[in-house]
Chains A and B, each alone.
Chain A
Amino acid sequence: MATQQIDPRGPRFGAAITATLLAVSVFLLLDNSTFSLGAGVFTFVTLSFAFGAAFGVSAHPYGLIFKKFVRPSLAAPKELEDATPPRFAQAVGLFVALIGWVLQLSGVEFGFAIAAGAAFVAAFLNAAFNYCLGCQIFLGLKRLKVIR
């Protein structure tokens, strides 16, 4: 796999947008009157994860917004990072979102909201604390033989 190098602040910028959208969706999903709006936001985030997992974070619209509007006003990054760890995080996000879809469609109340809350925690930790999902869980999943 080609190892593309990116500005590490790009994925964190994207995670901040994702976290905000997920928090909003949790709020909207909790009430019947706004549920469909919340489901719309959750659908958007699910598609966004799918895009990030399939094409990588630098091709992602958030990455492009960062490159075009945010990065020019920032100092050069101290170091670049590999583009694959953030992509792995997007895939995990997609997996969590899809669990939400399964729960919701099988009739579990707040299925979307639970998944949105869980995905929010990961996105928030990434944006605010530079938490790296790939560092923390990849090896554990591998040792448990969840991934080959």
Chain B
Amino acid sequence: MTTTENPRSRRTDILEDRPVNLDGFVEEWPEKGLVAMESDFDPQPSVRVEAGKIVELDGRARADFDFMDTFIADHAIDVETAEEVNAIPSVEIARALVDPGASRDELTRIGRGLTPAKILDVVKLMNVVEIMMAMQKMRSRRTPANQAHSTSAKDNPIQVAADAAEGALRGFAELETTLGVVRYAPLVAIALQVGGQVGRGGVLTQCALEEATELELGMRGITAYAETISVYGTESVFVDGDDTPWSKAFLASAYASRGIKMRFTSGTGSEVQMGNAEGRSMLYLEIRCILMAKGAGVQGLQNGSISCIGVPGAVPGGIRAVAAENLIASWMDLECASGNDQSFSHSAMRRTARLLPQMLPGTDFVCSGYSAVPNPDNMFAGSNLDVEDYDDWNTIQRDLQVDGGLRHVREPEILQAREKAARALQAVFAELDLPRITDEEVEAAVYAHGSEDYPERDVLEDLKGAQSVMDRGVTGLDLVKALERSGFHDVAENLLTVLRQRVSGDLLQTAAILTDEFVPLSAINDANDYGGPGSGYRLQGERWEQLKKLRHVTSAENPETEVS
């Protein structure tokens, strides 16, 4: 069929070519759960307690509970307060969340008794600025922090070590890696652990793998924490993920029993993406995940849609819902590693807007994966931010006087850390009789940007080496010894100090990180005490002086020169 084509205006042409129009957008479809947080198909809040047990939850009688209802009713919700707090009008709770005069403690007390539908009813009343106001008060740790991905498209351990060192130096409190070829994991996890401790002492590392393997690396002390413990909001999707709330709760205890920090992962959109949202909104299902995590007694949650960000990102109000899910995790008194960790948009403007609801109020980890490698090397399928955004990030911190956890570092320091990380890894590989790292590779690491800038590795030899790490039972302690024997005394000492933290269990408490003096900072000794203007975390003093520095800042005394 032919139609007469109207000529298009030049403006339309220009708009058509804007990157934002490469993004995908869809209409809502509430019956299938393709709706952010406002759906007629979500249950109405209700709760009834009999003989110390919840017998009705959000309109469902106990006999009809699925396993999520059962777990939430029996483990997450405070039975003693449930009827009382659920009777508080939602608008009162929503206003208290925003009101600096209402304390975080009082709100967590209320939160402990609420049902999923009631929590949804409360946050539905809040616009995105109110959600940010509430996040500022409700995040558990007073000092915000950030987390990075350090991966390689070629699983090149030298690249991972050098980028980990640079990332640590720039300020990330946690570093995460994963693999293209899973069998590479032991070598890459070692590289991350060694490189991270070169940049600054006290950085925590993890390697995202299938649950059992991830736990095994953690038990050996090759990684310091874990995060890829996915939970889902419907029973059917949970089972498709080959787990239940009980298996995940057991896993949480298994990690803690080895002194290893751990958080769960969930996010809006995962259920509809996996094809069984049971007709509920994305946020309602995410609230069930948050309460499941709470009930399991895990200290924290990575949420904010995570790898499913394209789903809420495509529907109206989706990014508001993502901000709301982070807020709810914090309100439920969990550490929140708040997303911003997946390729999200072709539009730089939209990428930034998606970030601000976490960056401005501050969260426990603003990104749960800022790509500390170029995005093509990001084996988590790319992040919302990558190495090419470092200067933009630092400038936004300086413009708005907010602490996003990073800082500008001068090139000589960066090159020195990259070289030291590569040399330390070279020495560790030699000590452990792993495939050789050449001087040429070390030199490449100093000046490289991405994996294509490194000499090719012999992959088969590396995989044999990786297998031997597992077969020989190499542990974190072996890495300490190898570093010490080869003269990297300070790196060895840093790693030993991180490993020693397992014995104390301090990193198991909510939102714990290590300062560069190795002092654990958690929601106990650094509890968020925000109570309005002039209180809570303020970017000032020495830290603010650090963040005033950028790559190019003109000297006030001599306009011809730059300070940095």
Task: Report whether chain A binds chain B.
Answer: no
B positions within 8 Å CB-CB of A: none
